[in-house]
Amino acid sequence: MRADARDNRARIMTAADDVFGRSPSASTDDVARLAGVGIATVFRHFPTKTELLEAVLTLRLERLRDRALELAGSDDPGKAFFEFFTQVVSESASKLAIGEALTAAGAAAGEEARAAGRGMREAFNGLLTAAQRAGAVRSDAEMAEVYALMIGASRGATAAKLEPPVRDRMLALIYDGLAPRS
């Protein structure tokens, strides 16, 4: 791919992430306008809105996976786990909006997005396991339970349109529940 085409694709992805993250009903025209490219350029890279949405969702999940893997090398596994959990909940409104846009377009996440999601969950499981070994998270908390808590907190914070102080209090309550018991 030529350098200018790569740059255009990157600008389109950044714009789509922003535009669809704010409004599931946004159009590809909105994306083109923000990216500073013509609509034909958007469709050359992504022939359908669904393909663009899938690419954005995949990129977001890959970024989360990469962040979890980066945090896995932390000297403080408990801090790394809770930092990642907080990041996922904090970014959830725009990620959920992208998922809604995909659903509104009549599509489900494609294989790439599903694979990226699996990779993110595996990396999150690594953070959980390390935090449990370090004594920062109760050892009887199963991955499925903790993942459901994170997703539930994400959806709840988004649906209730929680302001950051209220969201942070909600997270503090969840984290208290995840604390080891004596």
| Start-end of CATH 1.10.357.10 domains in the chain | 49-178
pTM: 0.85
CATH class of the domain at 1-47: mainly alpha
- pLDDT tens for 75-114 read 999 999 999 999 999 887 666 666 666 666 666 677 888 8
The predicted pLDDT at position 149 comes to: 94
| Residue partners of 160: CB distance under 8 A and separation at least 6 | none
Mean model confidence pLDDT for the chain: 89
Listed in order, the ranges of the chain carrying CATH 1.10.10 are 1-47
* Cα-based distances in Å from 78 to 35, 39, 50, 109: 39, 46, 38, 31
| Domain 49-178, second-level architecture | Orthogonal Bundle (1.10)
Least confident of 32-36, 50-54, 85-89, 110-114: 110-114
Contact 8, 35 (CB under 8 A): yes
| DSSP 8-state assignment for residue 136 | S
CB atoms within 10 A of CB 176: 8
Sorted by sequence, the CB contacts under 8 Å of residue 45 that are 6+ apart come out as 5, 8, 9, 12, 52
Cα–Cα distance between 108 and 120 in angstroms, integer?
Answer: 18
Position 176 scores a pLDDT of 96
pLDDT at 69: 97
